[in-house]
Amino acid sequence: METELIFFWFATIFYGVSAFFYILNFISKKEKFIHSATILAWLGFLIQMLSLAWYWLEGGLGLSIYSHTATSRITGTTLMGVLVFLLVQLFTKSIRPAGILIMPINFLLLFWAGISSIEIGAIPEVLVTFWFWVHVISGGFAYSFVLLASAVALLYLLKEHEVSLIQSPTPQSPETKSTQSPELEVLDNLNYRFIVLGFIMLTIMIISGSLWANQVHGR
């Protein structure tokens, strides 16, 4: 248990430092900060994977990262949230500034999980069905895409404010404006796609949860 906690807190620290660098990037608009933030986020993700792997080995393969404790649910959800954000970055690098919201939220959730009690206990095998896994995985994706949509919406508002300053009678100087965020139309399209994906995943989560409950409890 001690080893798993060490990995857990190292992952939390990496997420926290990554969030700090995303904030520094927002303030300074320097590429080196966002590059460092992305690397730290990947390192934190890999360490968190080690933490969960150790958690599984110690509790048995029947253990679920989505057991009936707030700690395990939050840990699994933040893992998926960070993974989805990092994978989206690989294909859409212009979305990297969204980390200013995504990483601080995941860091705070993981920190809260860390200061809560952590108890290892295997979930009853009768509950681990196909619909159970569909339910929890789709729930994780729903959280990830909704959080991404929220972060992109924040970037949209900031970009819109920047554009309004530039178009004002006394425009803002180029040195102080942001050049990293995509154009408003791009952000609007990304936000729409993430909201749709989040809605689809949320729908799957609700339907699979109902099927799971019917399969296990007959209602």
| Tens digit of each residue's pLDDT (9 = 90 or more) over 13-44 | 999 999 999 999 988 878 889 999 999 999 99
The residue-averaged pLDDT of 71-93 equals 87
The set of residues, in sequence order, having a beta carbon less than 8 Å from that of 198 and lying 6+ positions away, is 141, 142, 144, 145, 146, 148, 149
Indicate whether 113 pLDDT > 60.
Answer: yes
| Tens digit of each residue's pLDDT (9 = 90 or more) over 132-182 | 889 889 999 999 999 999 999 999 998 887 777 776 666 555 444 555 667
Of 3, 212, 61, give the one whose Cα is nearest residue 127.
212
d(CA 211, CA 168): 55
To the question of pTM greater than 0.75 for the whole model, the response is yes
